[in-house]
Amino acid sequence: MSVTEAPAKPPASTRAVLDFAWDAGKFRADDAIAATGLTRSTVLAALDSLIDIGLVEELPSGRQAPGARVGMALSTGAHGGSRLGRPARRFQLRAEAGVVIGVDAGWAHLTTIAADLSGHQLAREEVDVTEADRESPDRRRDLILTAVDGVLAAAGRAVDEVVSVGLGVPAPVNGEGVSPPHPLHFWEHMNPGLQATLDELFPAARVENDAALATIAEGAAGAARGYQHFVAVLVGRRLGAAVFLEGQIVRGAHGAVGELGGLSLVSGIGNTTGLGTRAEEWAATALAEGRIPTDHPWAELGADEFTAENLLASARLDDPVTGPLLTELGLTLGRICSVLAHFYDPEAIVLCGAVTGALTEVLRIARWYAAEDAQVPAPAILVSQLGGDVVAIGGLSAARDAARHIVVPTLLARQHQQVRASGE
């Protein structure tokens, strides 16, 4: 290729083979042929082109891929006998060819995960968001970019290896990564032009509502896998939801489908305060009013241990101290799920966030309430197993999906730049 020649877009056959290889693990050419419907020569040519740019690697022939035929390939000789042929060529995605990053840019914490192209996590970093960071959109942008640099350093990778970034914010986001104005400017502070900033720095970027990324994570590798109609609800510090119907995320005109501000109009809910925050506020009031005996497990928690996870972990319905809290949370959650069921008619509602692991008693009440209030079959109320990293994990999934579409031209462009630099 000439040093002045621009890299061409990959042919459709190369894209088809890459789509197969992206999640295939180790595979043979025959597997790619069967999956794509392309001819052997076309598949092998596509694989060779992907090998040339460092995106696919050919494996040594000494080991068989899982499911491969045992022994050497057989071919028929001139006299009808069989003879051993050359072992089948085996390949796999070269995962280290690039890096994808998932970011949960929350109100109080910022979690960043770096992974290779296969989705294998390389490093995870978490930082607290200070009041000063919240005061200025510029400081928030700087904090996010610093966090990306930090997780790359922890992974031992460079910024020019990043192919794509998926980032979640606590604000509605439309299909272009932009948040609408908020009466108190909260959404603009949470998403201060982040899509444009990331587009300038990385080959691909996707800014989403944080609950939308939780939805992506749950649908891809979580409790909602296999469902075509579900709602993912973040229930920890604040209430936020994203809606997945007919096999896709539903956004609305401004990306606000799933925003739960309307819960302030619902008796028994009143606002978008999360279950974790409600639990902490309830327990703090009970402690201040002397309603927690000195020998109660809650009274033994230090100030830094007085968290929703710890409070709920030791709470029981038959405990006169903690039972009223669990009942209140259960009825509140039941009302929330009932409202979502009435509006969206989902098959399932998935509760997400770090606090969900301690909601066993609360869930029992919520499921009862939602079933009693249902007009059509009540949705299953499921608990995420992805923990507090669900948004960042969804960011990784979104980043991987974006990377799959642009990684070939990205690597070709970098290869082109290297050729140009060597010729100057």
Question: What's the pLDDT tens digit per position in 381-406?
Answer: 999 999 999 999 999 999 999 999 99
Q: How far apart are CA 46 and CA 91, in angstroms?
A: 12
- Percent of the chain that is helix, strand, coil (3-state, to 5): 45, 20, 35
CA distances 356 to 225, 350, 351, 363, 387, Å, are 18, 10, 7, 9, 8
Mean pLDDT computed over 93-113: 96
The domains located in the chain, with CATH, are 1-62+84-93 (1.10.10.10), 97-209+389-416 (3.30.420.40), 230-385 (3.30.420.40)
Element (H, E) at 125: strand 121-128
Question: What's the pLDDT tens digit per position in 223-243?
Answer: 999 999 999 999 999 999 999
Mean pLDDT computed over 203-229: 96
Question: What's the pLDDT tens digit per position in 260-315?
Answer: 999 999 999 999 999 999 999 999 999 999 999 999 999 999 888 999 999 999 99
Mean pLDDT computed over 412-424: 77
Contacts of 404 (CB under 8 A, 6+ apart): 18, 19, 22
| Side-chain-side CA neighbours of residue 350 (13 Å) | 31
Residue 100: predicted pLDDT: 98
Residue 130: predicted pLDDT: 87
Residue 1: predicted pLDDT: 37
**Does residue 183 or residue 27 have the better pLDDT?**
27
Mean pLDDT computed over 17-45: 96
**Does residue 185 or residue 59 have the better pLDDT?**
59
Residue 415: predicted pLDDT: 81
Q: How far apart are CA 379 and CA 231, in angstroms?
A: 10
For residue 158, pLDDT beyond 60: yes
Report residue 342's pLDDT band, with 50, 70 and 90 as the boundaries: very high
Reduce the DSSP state of residue 81 to 3 states and report it: coil
